[in-house]
């Protein structure tokens, strides 16, 4: 996701050049005494979006597009559907829709909201019924979720490293999400029977919400967990003083 990569990019310049006073021309240092520090932080993140799209080995931060997902299993209401070797693509193309970073107060918080289209690719196995229609098959699957908006809320605390230097850390994150529409493309349904497959997929896509009620929660949870882990990986490698001047630990 672009906003996470922006944090990472910010740290790369500071760490690589080893000078807190240096920043690339498109980023300015934010200061804790600035009355609009949250606005400053947001502007610097948005400014860096075009310059960074993938993970940074120098900071031990991996790419999160695609997100590697654990196996996902739906088992209920007469339907058994399992996805394996699953990956979620599209986070790097998602857009930042809201960012709130409150620092320097007792109730420090971090809120990040992004929106985009996400594609899940996987191998699938299915048998049972979708409402009234039977379904069975196995093969390649692509699940396209349009207009996925995820809001991550977390407390923002500080921790010391082995050298006594202060770092930010996200703790106790929570999240919520909405999805505008989902379409399913399951290859080799009914052993390749095209007519049965088309009818069943059309029915599944017309009733996508029922399937996503079971499929979305574990997938979104893993995405959020991956995002928070990436942000904290960045924070653990970049001191607070390199991000915000004048910051005093709470």
pLDDT at 28: 66
In a domain, 60, yes or no: yes
pLDDT tens-place string over residues 224-235 = 998 898 888 878
pLDDT tens-place string over residues 167-222 = 889 999 999 999 999 999 999 999 999 999 999 999 999 999 988 999 999 999 99
Q: Could you tell me if 97 and 76 are in contact, meaning their C-beta atoms sit under 8 angstroms apart?
A: no
pLDDT at 12: 45
In a domain, 213, yes or no: yes
pLDDT at 87: 95
**Interatomic CA distance for residues 235 and 213, integer angstroms:** 34
Q: Is residue 31 very low, low, confident or very high in pLDDT (cuts 50, 70, 90)?
A: confident
Sort strands 30-31 and 244-245 into parallel, antiparallel or unpaired.
parallel
CA 11 centroid distance within chain = 19
In a domain, 250, yes or no: no
pLDDT tens-place string over residues 118-160 = 999 999 999 999 888 899 999 999 999 999 999 999 999 989 9
Number of domains the chain contains: 1
Token pair listed for 224: 């959020």
Q: Could you tell me if 126 and 137 are in contact, meaning their C-beta atoms sit under 8 angstroms apart?
A: yes
CATH code assigned at 30 = 3.15.10.30
Residue 10 pLDDT > 70, yes or no?
A: no
Residues 6+ apart with CB under 8 A from 53: 2, 5, 65, 92
In a domain, 137, yes or no: yes
Enumerate the β-bridge partners of residue 129: 134
In a domain, 229, yes or no: yes
Q: Is residue 239 very low, low, confident or very high in pLDDT (cuts 50, 70, 90)?
A: confident
In a domain, 108, yes or no: yes
Report the half-sphere exposure of 95 (CA within 13 A, side-chain side): 5
pLDDT tens-place string over residues 103-126 = 777 788 889 899 999 999 999 999
In a domain, 165, yes or no: yes
Q: Give the DSSP H or E segment for 229.
A: helix 208-237
In a domain, 100, yes or no: yes
pLDDT tens-place string over residues 59-87 = 666 778 888 999 999 998 889 999 999 99
Domain containing 222: what range?
Answer: 2-245
pLDDT at 22: 36
């Amino acid at each position: 996701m672009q906003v996470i990569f922006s944090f990472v990019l910010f740290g790369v310049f500071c760490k690589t050049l080893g000078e807190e006073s240096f920043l690339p021309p498109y980023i300015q240092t934010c200061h804790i005494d600035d009355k609009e520090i949250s606005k400053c932080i947001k502007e610097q993140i948005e400014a860096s979006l075009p310059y960074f799209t993938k993970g940074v080995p120098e900071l031990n931060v991996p790419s999160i597009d695609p997100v590697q997902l654990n196996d996902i299993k739906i088992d209920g209401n007469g339907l058994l559907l399992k996805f394996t070797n699953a990956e979620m693509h599209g986070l790097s193309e998602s857009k930042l829709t809201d960012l709130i970073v409150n620092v320097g107060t007792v109730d420090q918080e971090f809120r990040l909201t992004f929106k985009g289209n996400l594609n899940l690719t996987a191998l699938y196995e299915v048998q049972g019924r979708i409402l009234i229609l039977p379904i069975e098959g196995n093969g390649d699957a692509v699940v396209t979720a349009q207009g996925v908006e995820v809001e991550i809320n977390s407390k923002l605390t500080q921790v010391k490293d082995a050298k006594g230097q202060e770092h930010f850390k996200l703790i106790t994150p929570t999240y919520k999400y909405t999805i505008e529409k989902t379409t399913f493309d399951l290859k080799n349904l009914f052993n390749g029977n095209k007519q049965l497959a088309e009818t069943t997929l059309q029915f599944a896509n017309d009733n996508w919400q029922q399937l996503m009620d079971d499929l979305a929660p574990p997938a979104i949870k893993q995405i959020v967990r991956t995002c928070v882990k990436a942000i904290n990986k960045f924070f653990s490698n970049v001191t607070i003083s390199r991000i915000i001047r004048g910051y005093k630990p709470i």
